[in-house]
Amino acid sequence: MTSTQMANDTRLVYDSAGLGRPAWAMTSPLLLEYYDTEWGMPVHEESALLERLCLEGFQAGLSWELVLRKREAFRAAFVGFDADLLASFGEEEVERLMNNAGIIRNRLKINAVLNNATATVALRETGGLDEFIWSFLPADTIAPESEEDIPKYTQEALDMSKALKKAGFKFVGPVTCFSLMTAIGMVDAHLVGSHRRGTSGIWPAQGPGGLTNSASR
């Protein structure tokens, strides 16, 4: 099966070892490694959460593989997504970032990172970014058998988006928020039968319906 055919397949694709993954994870070694080691695993540390949130914003209208290829350049350019350091950036730093060929040079998205860093610092007064993001953990998760079974966003993602915007964040629409939720394990969007389903420690591996998170049990 070619990479194009795999990209058009919405169900699990199995490798020679019998491990099932969604087609998108089989289109490049970079995406395969990301799927097998990172996607869907819980993230709680502030700078890591800020990175994920901002990279999801950079991905809007582009491919996630492109963002992953530039990830180390993003980390270097945005000082490890340290909120305190980023909140101190001014126009000089913005211009420097706009001249950095290693990242996605979109002024609105770059300014959104600095804005989101300032908002992240402010959130510390009421519990911090981790507590804020994870307060939208749903009571149950989806059990998709194909990519078509995965919604573009959920009510929790919509609620998160509204709350983030109210807190001053930018580029945090409900689709972006749902992508974040699946990326950090708040929603288990691994297809049923995938060897990665249930590995987050938050959700059980199998079965449609009635899947409650470990905090609810």
Partner residues linked to 92 by β-bridges: none
Which distant-in-sequence residues (6+ apart) come within 8 Å of 53 by Cβ? 116, 133, 169, 172, 176, 180
Give yes or no: 134 in active site: no
Q: Where are the beta strands (DSSP E) in 104-214?
A: none
Instruction: Tell me the three state secondary structure of residue 192.
Output: coil
Q: Annotated catalytic residue: which of 56, 134, 156, 203?
A: 56
Give the integer Cα–Cα distance in Å for 128 and 134: 10
Burial call 87-102: b when 16+ CB within 10 Å, e when fewer: bebeeebeeebeebee
Q: How far apart (Å, rounded) are the C-alpha atoms in residues 94 and 110?
A: 7
24, 35, 64, 203: which one is catalytic?
64
Instruction: Indicate if 34 belongs to the active site.
Output: yes
Token pair belonging to 165 = 């915007």
CA dihedral for 41, 45, 49, 55, sign (positive or negative): negative
153 annotated active-site: no
| From 34, 65, 147, 153, active-site residue | 34
Q: Which residue from 39, 53, 204 is spatially nearest to 132, judged by alpha carbons?
A: 53
Active-site residue set: 34, 56, 64
